[in-house]
Structure 1
């Protein structure tokens, strides 16, 4: 359970899943058409809203963006195995890690969306995140209050009752630096 909580907490950080690296159509995204333009804009808005909600610690808003169950894969950061978990559990993990003491900042771009069905899609994007916690600056905690990560996200989307929701998240870290204390220690 501790690994799952850490995975959920670190999921806030960012990524591109391994299978997407070899699947050119998903990597490139579907062509933009007049028929898909609004759906595309909504998916980008949802992913960007998720980042903003996490940074603002607006957990109710963050939860509202997900289906009830979500496939998560943050193994590039924490090991373990991909899992299907309740979205409430994911939010509980994030909120337990990113308390008022632990600031975060997320930035995403280069969105590529592939429609996999009339009511499903996958979005790949590049991401950057940092966590800052002043306690990390103490000598006994390593002397650095900042942890950063870069990588790619893969978000799955499903249309539920006419609205797009996030039903999957994979983050593949490509680089990280900074304080392991800040990365691994929940805020108090």
Structure 2
């Protein structure tokens, strides 16, 4: 479907009325001026999840700035860090090998603009990882690990459009076999 200016305006007005009624949920209300930017940020965050699940590392890498501030300490300890995005992708690809399947799902996206070129998006996330070799008794006996939590993505506008320059995941619950989470597949 091709979006015309009239269609975008109608969507923005409809969405603005809905969002205005729920301002307490956070985020910047949708307006005609920011509708496309907010939709693009949601698309990017969802595409990162889809890229990770498809193990399409080149496409996934393209959604990030060259350096990214990451904080996954609620899962793995350590300290938040600013690292090359290539390092983030290398870590993900080393852990999520062909043997390990994953599924990521997110919702309740709330974008807050800090300026015309900077925003933060908060969303709820769910992920699971499955690895058959983990079902062996010596590896914990269960092939599944899953986690729920909150993501915070930092976005900046670049010459190439919106890019993620920061990413935090705060786990609120997890269950299953930590061996699946911590061990690369073969």
TM-score range, shorter chain: 0.7 to 0.9
TM-score (norm 1): 0.85
| Separation of aligned partners in 2, 1:26 and 1:122 | 17
**Aligned residue pairs: how many?**
164
Q: Is the 8 A contact 1:26 1:122 kept in 2?
A: no
TM-score (norm 2): 0.86
Unaligned runs of 5+ in 1: 1-24
Aligned match for 1:97, one of 95, 98, 109: 95
CA separation of 1:183/1:26 partners in 2, compared to 1, >3 Å: closer, same or farther? farther
1:99-118 pair list within 5 angstroms: 99-118=97-116
Q: CA RMSD in A?
A: 1.3
Secondary structure in 2 matching 1:80: coil
Aligned match for 2:46, one of 42, 48, 65: 48
Unaligned runs of 5+ in 2: 1-22
1:112-151 pair list within 5 angstroms: 112-151=110-149
| Separation of aligned partners in 1, 2:57 and 2:39 | 23
Q: Is the 8 A contact 1:26 1:113 kept in 2?
A: no
CA separation of 1:26/1:134 partners in 2, compared to 1, >3 Å: closer, same or farther? farther
Residue equivalent to 2:28: 30
Which structure exhibits the higher relative contact order, with contacts defined as CA atoms closer than 8 Å and separated by 6 or more residues? 1
Secondary structure in 2 matching 1:101: coil
Residue equivalent to 1:17: none
2:60 aligned with 1:62, yes or no?
yes
CA separation of 1:135/1:26 partners in 2, compared to 1, >3 Å: closer, same or farther? farther
| Separation of aligned partners in 2, 1:27 and 1:81 | 29
Residue equivalent to 1:19: none
Tell me which structure has the larger Cα radius of gyration: 2
How far 1:129 sits from its partner (Å)?
Answer: 0.1
CA separation of 1:26/1:186 partners in 2, compared to 1, >3 Å: closer, same or farther? farther
